[in-house]
Amino acid sequence: MTQAVESVEKRESSEAAGEALAAFIKRYPKLWVITGAGVSTDSGIPDYRDADGQWKRPPPVQHGDFMSSFAVRQRYWARALVGFKAMREAQVSGAHRALAKLEAMGHVELLVTQNVDRLHQRAGSKKVIDLHGRADVVACMACGYQMMRHAMHSEMARMNPAFAALDARHAPDGDADLEADFSTFNVLDCPRCKGILKPQVVYYGDVVPPARRLAAQSALQQADAVLAVGTSLMVYSGYRFCRDAHAMGLPVASLSLGVTRADGFLTHQWRAPLTPVLEYAVGRLKKG
């Protein structure tokens, strides 16, 4: 297949990109969609990377460090006590709603999201795989006990009133740019066995559960094309599917504001604001 990439060095107009995206969907009506942090920035949840794919702030916590260091867990939960309100209070964006409409119109074979905010489901998308898990539930790493994260935060706020009163700039995935002496922070352990409680999120250094990966790969076999939305694809767990699609000969398109790890084999690329482009494409498809 000819790799004739539709791309520009500067941002395209929303109308031009929306028109091109609608034409892409008409040609390839069964999409395998993968989304990233850019889909949720309009919801008030910060992203990790800039337009060049570089870290805006220090990388997130590593799985091994979280599990092995009590001090790391103190820092993580103290910052989360301040920062998670951004994710808890986030509202669905126009991009979330437009993707849900595309599914309702029959154009989405599967939506795989690298986000952990569950906003796609709240917008109405049903065919969703949370590749990296969900941040609103915590589980004991020893006995499997689960509880809702808001309940855990309420208890830790009671245990740490001084920290609960702090404020700081919100960071990605419920973190906050808070620096303090965390040595006095009281971490809530599993109420059943006193084990380590951890959000049901795939941290760096951890692996995506095989069942999720296999389900995503199975749906990819049934799709006409891949559409990446709001993701730099710098994380291998998401990039691998676009790489596999390319190897299968499927068109791979990207809608984002910056570079992606997959730029070298994209067949279509639109660097433009997500919500207006998606909304325009949906409207164009409805008109036929």
Which residue ranges make up the annotated binding site for Zn(2+)? 140, 143, 190, 193
With the CA atoms of 260, 265, 269 and 274 taken in that order, what torsion angle do they form, in degrees rounded to the nearest 10? Answer: -40
Indicate if the alpha-carbon torsion angle 34, 266, 28, 213 is positive or negative.
Answer: negative
- CB count in 10 Å sphere of residue 4: 8
State the catalytic residue, choosing from 96, 120, 132, 268: 132
Determine contact, residues 120/100, Cβ cutoff 8 Å.
Answer: yes
Name the burial class of residue 10, with classes exposed (0-12), middle (13-18) and buried (19+) by CB atoms within 10 angstroms of its CB.
exposed
Q: How far apart are CA 234 and CA 238, in angstroms?
A: 8
63 is catalytic: no
Determine contact, residues 280/18, Cβ cutoff 8 Å.
Answer: yes
Binding residues: 140, 143, 190, 193
- What residues are annotated to the active site? 132
